Amino acid sequence: MRRALPRLLLRYRVYALVRRFDPALRDAGVTQIIGDLDQPASLKRIAGLADLVLHSAPPAEADVARDTRTRRLLARLQTAKSVPRRLVYISTSGVYGDCAAAEVDESRPVKPESARAARRVAAETSLRQFGQHGRAKVSILRAPGIYAADRLPLERVRRGDPVLHAEQDSYSNHIHADDLASACVLALAHGRPNRTYNASDDSVVKMGDWFTQLAAAFELPPPPRVNRSEAEQRLSPALLSFLRESRRLKNQRIKRELGLQLQYPTVSDGIAAAKQAAGNTATVAVSHNENAVSAPTKAKKPRLKKKRRTETQLPLF
């Protein structure tokens, strides 16, 4: 993730796999490798390049219940004499499916209820197999709705899209992009092998309350409340899929094992910071839902000490 770059560049030589050259990455000090996980022939240069990989490329929507991008990445990495020591993957908490508002820790079995989540489960399975064969220490971060000052669903609030009445509403989980970046850096250094982590904040909030808080903070009309039957008539299938799932993520493991200290423990903290950053003028992009929307990237070698190679695969937004 780009937000992790300043910290990563202090410790590592970072390489990024990108579809096209990005001047901003060059200016940040990132070495770019032109390639595409949808084009296997373009991936030859990444084999044996690095010790650490941060993988956040989303599965292709054309995949039904698999993730060919992750398979191609792993296949190429395995062709080298040396493979990464650690690999961190940003997955989604959507792999749990609907949990009927229950508290959910990492021991809960996955039960994806959408094609989107099924593709993530397929990616996790491929990565676990890669790790189980002794090829790398694989850690999986299950992220919920990622937000920041420039990643808020304010356009939905402006449209007046409805939310559910409180008694019918679903719990929604969130993580600020800066806190997710911190989790990535920590997992690259301390993630346990074949270990999953709920990369979520401390919020216990229903989806309607999330949008209502946003509206209040940015002085917009509150979203109208409707029942489920009316919501099904007015909202898109994609939005409805999130309303059908309710869970409360527990994040004790990522704090205990990785030492994550949240800069924005709740969405209230994050919204307040976003409002301050925006100066009460909200020109922000739409981004909600439990998916990391990004393209792949990666990196390598520490600048200092020991001749040890290191790599990170980072998202290109």
Per residue in 167-178, pLDDT (tens digit) is 999 999 999 999
Split at pLDDT 50, 70, 90, the class of 158 is: very high
- Average pLDDT score over residue span 131-152: 94
What CATH architecture applies to the domain 2-278?
3-Layer(aba) Sandwich (3.40)
Q: Rounded to whole angstroms, how far apart are CA atoms 125 and 67?
A: 10
Instruction: Say yes or no to pLDDT of 308 above 70.
Output: no
Assess whether pLDDT exceeds 80 at residue 97. yes
CB 207 within 8 A of CB 242: yes
Q: What percent of the chain has pLDDT over 90?
A: 81
Averaged pLDDT, 177-183: 98
- The least confident of 49-53, 101-105, 130-134, 200-204 is 130-134
pLDDT tens figures, 2-59: 999 999 999 999 999 999 999 999 999 999 999 999 999 999 999 999 899 999 999 9
Looking at residue 293, what is its pLDDT?
Answer: 29
C-alpha 97: how far from chain center: 16
Burial 175-206 (b: 16+ CB within 10 A, else e): bbbbbbbbbbbbbbeebeebbbbbbbbebebb
Domain boundaries, the chain: 2-278
* Whether the predicted model's global pTM rises above the 0.75 cut: yes
Burial of 248: CB neighbours in 10 Å, binned 0-12, 13-18, 19+: middle
